[in-house]
Chain A
Amino acid sequence: MLPPEPHLGPSYASEFAAALIDPRRETPAVVAGPNGKVAIKRYNVYRNNVTSSLIDALATIYPAVQRITGVDFFRAMARFHIRATPPTSPLLFEYGRDFPAFIAQYGYAQSMPWLADTARLERAWLDAYHAEDAAPLSGETLAAVAPERLVDLVFIAHPATRIVRSPFSVVTIFAANRSGEEVGRIDASSPEDALITRPDLDVVVRHLPPGGAVFLTDLIARRSLGEAAASALDASPTFDIASSIAGMIEAGAFTAATLEKQDGH
């Protein structure tokens, strides 16, 4: 936290800011209408601008969550979150990182246990949308590696690549509520893992097969292909390495692969 610059006397900003997101506080005494008249409604314009624009910002980041809960529920929930955790960065697309955790413990949302993971997926989507541009790794690069060295390959994740794991049908829920179409009944109870990538401009969300999330999480953490495949098989005996490699290349999840780590041995 930066202190006010010293030579400047009393703090108009502290006085003005204190009541902006705290409805229990009165209109600051430092402000007035014309000729010194009261400024309650006038000051409330700022209160309203601040809170409603931040709610709008969360609604823009979390459209599927808003569609599931309905607008009134969402705006009430968002208002609580804004009061508890206002933004600390002027970049609004960075706001709301704590919102999924807030939703997870929000009393009125307990009947929708999949809601927080849906929010996590939406947050990952936006991070992928703004991530640095990078050309994805091509299948030809991989084909050029000698088959016996494949297990030693270490991959570099694309800046947009994210994994979201959930005990709920979060990919199905996300896709249905982000489409323009009417949402039918969804069985939320089957676990789904998501791979989020953005090989060029469009963000793509894929439903990963069993073991896929463990495999990719290991690769993103720069474990070798052999190690990642072993832990994926441990986690899920039906894990299919060939189709997982083909899938991650097609998705553009990585930008490069290297054998350097092993070359020193």
Chain B
Amino acid sequence: MNAVIKPAPAAAIAPRFPALPIGGLAGTSFKHEHLAAIRAEGGDRGFFEVHAENYMGAGGSPHRALETVRRDYPLSLHGVCLSIGGEQPLDKAHLARFQNLVDRYEPALVSEHLAWSTHETTYFNDLLPLPYTEATLLRVCDHIHQVQEAIRRPMLLENPSTYVAFRESTMSETDFIRAVARRTGCGLLLDVNNVFVSATNHGFSALDYLSDFPLAGVGEIHLAGHAEQSDDEGAPLLIDSHDGPVADAVWKLFEIVIARCGPVPTLVEWDSNIPDWPILKAEAAAAQAILDRCRSLEEGHHAAA
């Protein structure tokens, strides 16, 4: 059974947007340069995901564009700056902005990262890693409790891609994530590209990671492209660059994941060197085909049972 994000308790406020179901759909990052092409084709299956921070301005074009898309498609709201894995208390003002967006756009999915980006007064604009210890586990759980209390629904936590490990870590990433999900009731966003990138960078097996990962809690999947560099000893070092098509090895892992946890909503991320809409749409269509095949297998299985 996959984690289901429940709608906020029937509040006094009437919904502003249709409650469009997201189950079994493939989607893409929403980029404003694609809006005209998206509107021109109109009403295809799919969903869009946006980085919450890009919609934290007071008004103008960003909100108008997001309202337009949200009327026709389910939305996934993806935070990148809450700094849940950070060492200091959550930024209350930023959390309030996040909460306002959840209230305003009624997204089908809400997610954030197991990472940090702010320390003391500096915002670093990157998803930075943390050690996995009892102390950091306590704090991450505390932060997620605060987020879920603010938005009045469970959030999804995304596994990171990392380039270094911390010497002080005392547990594996999968043990850490499992414990967070159990203690906070949050769902999980499984980024399959991140699994592949981290497995390569740290020399573990991506399949072993997926076997250890609490797949029952997965409410969304991310796919993306990566770039290849090398480390100090010439070993491959993969960079989570979101600037190209999804790699073949990541598609393979994705099929394995879907076979195990069913047709979970899946997003193709593409954040730099952004291609024309048909290319991004084709990546999502490839993911949709895999989700649909899984669904028809499931249905066949149920019919036979």
Contact = CB atoms under 8 A, between A and B. Distances in A.
B248 interface: no
Contact of A33 (B57, B83, B232): B232
Given A12-B130, A90-B94, A133-B60, A50 B167 contact: no
B88 A4 contact: yes
A14 B119 contact: yes
A5 B165 contact: no
Contacts of A37: 232-233
Interface in B149-170: 163-168
A54 B58 contact: no
Interface in A5-59: 5, 7-14, 16-17, 20-21, 29-43, 45-46, 49-50, 53-54, 57
Interface in B64-116: 64, 81, 83, 86-89, 91, 94, 116
B202 A34 contact: yes
Task: Report which residue of B64, B126, B128, B168 has the largest number of chain A beta carbons within 10 angstroms of its beta carbon.
Answer: B126
A34 B165 contact: yes
A12 B168 contact: yes
A16 to B, nearest CB: 6
A102 interface: no
Given A30-B168, A33-B231, A45-B239, A13 B87 contact: yes
B232 A39 contact: yes
Interface residues of A, number: 57
B120 interface: yes
Contact of A16 (B57, B83, B128, B165): B128
Contacts of B273: none
Contacts of B120: 1-2, 14, 17
A165 interface: no
Contacts of B166: 12, 30-32
Contacts of B123: 86-90
A90 B80 CA distance: 9
Interface string A48-77: 011001100100000000000000000000
Interface residues of B, number: 53
A53 B163 CA distance: 17
B237 A131 contact: no
Contacts of B86: 13
B89 A2 contact: yes
A132 interface: yes
Contact of A131 (B58, B128, B163, B230): B58
Contacts of A87: 122-123, 125
A125 B60 CA distance: 12
B165 A31 contact: yes
B273 to A, nearest CB: 12
B239 A130 contact: no
B194 interface: no
Given A5-B87, A50-B124, A201-B61, A32 B130 contact: no
Interface string A224-261: 00000000000000000000000000000000000000
Contacts of A43: 163-164
B43 interface: no
A219 B2 CA distance: 59
Contact of A42 (B62, B126, B231): B231
A20 B124 contact: yes
Contacts of B118: 90
A32 B165 contact: yes
Given A2-B89, A45-B163, A91 B232 contact: no
A35 B117 CA distance: 26
A166 to B, nearest CB: 25
Contacts of B237: 41-42, 45
Contacts of A5: 87-89, 139
Interface string B166-203: 11100000000000000000000000000000000111
Nearest to A27: B164
Contacts of B239: 45
B124 to A, nearest CB: 5
Given A12-B87, A57-B125, A36 B167 contact: yes
B89 A31 contact: no
Contact of B126 (A4, A8, A49): A49
Nearest to A18: B119
Given A2-B89, A5-B88, A57-B125, A12 B60 contact: no
B166 to A, nearest CB: 6
Contacts of B130: 12-13
Given A8-B139, A49-B126, 8 more contacts: A30-B166, A32-B167, A41-B229, A41-B231, A45-B163, A45-B237, A53-B125, A90-B117
17 contacts: A1-B120, A1-B121, A2-B88, A7-B138, A8-B135, A13-B88, A30-B166, A34-B165, A37-B232, A37-B233, A40-B232, A41-B231, A46-B164, A50-B125, A50-B126, A53-B126, A88-B121
Interface of A: 1-5, 7-14, 16-17, 20-21, 29-43, 45-46, 49-50, 53-54, 57, 86-93, 129-134, 159-160, 198, 201
